[in-house]
Structure 1
Amino acid sequence: MDHLLPKSKWRALAYEWSNYRLACGRMNARKNDSEDVLDPFDVQDGWFALELSTLQVIPGPGLDAPIQQRVQDTIDRLDLNDDEFIAQRVEYFESYKSYCDDMRGIAFLKKHAPFLAKELIRQGLAQP
């Protein structure tokens, strides 16, 4: 669990359920006490995209400048394009490509790497 608004700055919200977000330990540590990470409850479809040639997370196309900056700040703060994340995306993408049947592959991705699956579909490289 992570505090969306850090308890070091917002002590009154330290025990408020509305301030808790589920996060893995790595994301919790990277966010630390910063307040520039987007609230996952506020993120809308299309705000984050995937550059398929590099498998890097990027701001989605056509965003207003303030939202685009907040998305980029979140990507940077959480280091969503570190070597470990890229390697994990490569592994899932290679597993997807090894399936003979596209529908089985996309079902696999939807279960194990839903963001990658969604981006392949959005970019017209897989059937929904």
Structure 2
Amino acid sequence: MIPVAKVPEPDDFDGEVRTPGRAWLKANPTVDRPPALWSGHTQDLAEGFANLCGYAAMLDPTGGTVDHYLSCKNHRELTYEWSNYRFASGTLNSSKKNADDTVLDPYEVQAGWFEILLPSLQMRVTDAVPAAMRAKAEFTLKRLKLRDGERIIRWRQSWYAMYKSGGLTLDGLRQVAPLIAEAVDKVLAKGGVAP
């Protein structure tokens, strides 16, 4: 995870999503699955996240999804609120499910809280995470399988392999997988060669 600035609400969001969404919620109090009126604004959210998954901190080639940080199941009233949306890969959004604020909010993460280790490509929590947030940060890694989940490691491997083969420059790697680029930078700063 890397710091993400809060994405401003699009001008047409209220008229296209919030107002009709609240009306739907009121008219359908017992229906579990609300219509995805927010989907037309996925790209607005993605651009605000530099097209990087808010949890994996990597470009998601599948296009990503809108994550309701506080789930529709537990916080129905926030279903159509822009302030509750985060950009995430579909895989991580599915892993998060209804974990809500037991996982870190991408908007609260600060620089240097997480790092990628080479050559394993595992993510770890650093000492920069405040003591009061460490348990939540560790839980986030576990719940979302960010530390060493098979899918996430393969995803990191694909970007790293592209960099190592010359298909991506280090600047390109910074754009699609900034934490992997930071790991490479650390190795290079010590005079080493990225493994």
* TM-score between both structures, scaled by the size of structure 2: 0.56
* Distance of 1:124 and 1:12 partners within structure 2: 47
Partner of 2:182: 118
For 1:2, what is the secondary structure of its paired residue?
strand
Matched, 1:30 2:95: yes
How far does the alpha carbon of each residue in 1:19-72 deviate from its partner, in whole angstroms, 9 at most, with x for none? 111122111111101121111111111111112231100002343332222111
Partner of 1:18: 83
Q: Aligned residues, how many?
A: 121
* Distance of 1:113 and 1:92 partners within structure 2: 7
For 1:70, what is the secondary structure of its paired residue?
helix
Partner of 1:73: 139
Q: Over aligned residues, Cα RMSD in angstroms?
A: 1.9
Matched, 1:93 2:160: yes
Native 8 Å contact 1:47 1:68 kept in 2: no
For 2:139, what is the secondary structure of its paired residue?
helix
Return structure 1 stretches of 4+ with deviation > 3 angstroms. Answer: none
* Distance of 1:24 and 1:42 partners within structure 2: 18
Pick closer, same or farther for the CA change 1:111–1:5 going to 2, 3 Å.
same
For 2:169, what is the secondary structure of its paired residue?
helix
| Correspondence for 2:169 among 85, 105, 109 | 105
Gaps of 5+ in 1: none
Amino acid in the other structure paired with 1:26: T
Amino acid in the other structure paired with 2:176: H
* Distance of 2:135 and 2:124 partners within structure 1: 11
Greater radius of gyration (CA) = 2
* Distance of 1:56 and 1:94 partners within structure 2: 15
* Distance of 2:156 and 2:188 partners within structure 1: 16
Partner of 1:83: 150
Pick closer, same or farther for the CA change 1:124–1:54 going to 2, 3 Å.
closer
* Distance of 2:78 and 2:177 partners within structure 1: 32
Deviation at 1:124, TM superposition (A): 4.6
Deviation at 1:119, TM superposition (A): 2.9
Amino acid in the other structure paired with 1:120: V
Gaps of 5+ in 2: 1-65, 190-195
Amino acid in the other structure paired with 2:180: L
Partner of 1:61: 127
Q: Percent identity?
A: 36
Q: Tell me which of the two structures has the higher relative contact order, counting C-alpha pairs closer than 8 angstroms and 6 or more residues apart.
A: 2
Matched, 1:48 2:114: yes
